[in-house]
Amino acid sequence: MLHHIQKHIIDVLATVDPARYADLRPDDMDGNQFTYHLKQLITDRLVAKNEDGTYSLTQKGRTYLVTRYENPDEMAHTIFLVIVRHGGKLLLRERRVQPMLGYIGFVHGEPVVGKTLGESVRERVALKTGVDIEDIMVRGSGLIRIVKDGQPQSFSHAIIVQAVAGSGDLPITEDETGKNSWIPEDQLDSVAQLLPSCFDVLAFARDPAGGWFERTYDV
């Protein structure tokens, strides 16, 4: 949590960017104390000092402005879910970390700044499974809430992507965060600890209309 002086600096830079030192420092504030907090923001990469001596928000600082009044526990986290098929089989991943430790679902990841969604998806699947994918297609998106014993476990804005694996090989069977396997699609009902959202995600991806869905699941 930022000190109130640091929040003041960011608030000023929200409307005056770039700003001079004198613009940022309140008249009644001790210079040494103010300089300490300004330097801390620079160290934390929320603020940058420009070549002309003025100060500006970094990308990290601008992101903080967007989210500073939000409770992250209540906000949907944007991810992509990748339905990877090969020869009637689906690529699934058992989670070895929270949230949803022990449950099985599709490979997921996060969109990356500076990369297309297709690039992010391809790199994530390769990193976690070693599988090379092609024919990447976005089918839509939705809000997925997972609740257990009345407590939220996961809340995601999921971009639904489907793709085809170039081969049925599985170069990476497991790592510290998950275990991978090919499962025949017609045997999905028999998979223990399968995330209940998987069936709706598959049905949604098959729907020619695509678009948007919203579901809540109790596990």
Question: pLDDT tens for residues 174-191?
Answer: 999 999 999 999 999 999
Mean pLDDT to the nearest integer, 7-13: 89
Helix (H) or strand (E) segment spanning residue 172: none
| pLDDT band for position 105 (cuts 50, 70, 90) | very high
Q: What is the pTM of this model?
A: 0.73
Give yes or no for a contact between 188 and 88, defined as CB atoms under 8 angstroms apart. Answer: no
What pLDDT shows up at residue 136? Answer: 97
What pLDDT shows up at residue 151? Answer: 84
In the chain, the domains with their CATH numbers are: 4-67 (1.10.10.10), 72-218 (3.90.79.10)
Q: At what angle do helices 4-15 and 31-43 cross, to 10 degrees?
A: 70
Q: Mind listing the pLDDT tens digit for each residue in 32-69?
A: 889 999 999 999 999 999 999 999 999 888 877 766 65
- DSSP class of 53: S
Max Cα-Cα span within the chain: 71
Q: At what angle do helices 4-15 and 59-67 cross, to 10 degrees?
A: 100
Give yes or no for a contact between 216 and 193, defined as CB atoms under 8 angstroms apart. Answer: no
**Regarding beta strands 77-86 and 151-165, do their DSSP bridges make them parallel or antiparallel, or are they unpaired?**
parallel
